Structure 1
């Protein structure tokens, strides 16, 4: 219980400190240039799972619903 309170207090303290900061960008950054050469794909031995697909027809019983709109309703 004490650890939870200490962690909560630390979280509040850190979030207040982060909210008090302002930052301005002085120089625009750019991504480094990277040269990429062809590589080699790893050799992988895969045993796929056996999947059987079938279809089945089922009848679902749904309740009958009667809706009577009230007077003055547009919908």
Structure 2
């Protein structure tokens, strides 16, 4: 639903869709350029939610099946 550069690069994860509103979790509410890029890439109204970076990273690891560094 969102391009990789927004999900992986800016840590934005869509997590629910209700009617014409999509809920997107982000970890940096001050990233105006990232929020604008998400809004432009979607044909939905975006409702923003703040999440911890670790929670978004865990979700992205599960979705993209990324290897854990260590």
Question: TM-score per shorter chain, which class?
Answer: under 0.3
Task: Tell me the TM-score normalized by structure 2.
Answer: 0.20
Instruction: Judging by fraction of residues, say which structure has more helix.
Output: 2
Task: Tell me the TM-score normalized by structure 1.
Answer: 0.19
Instruction: Judging by fraction of residues, say which structure has more strand.
Output: 2
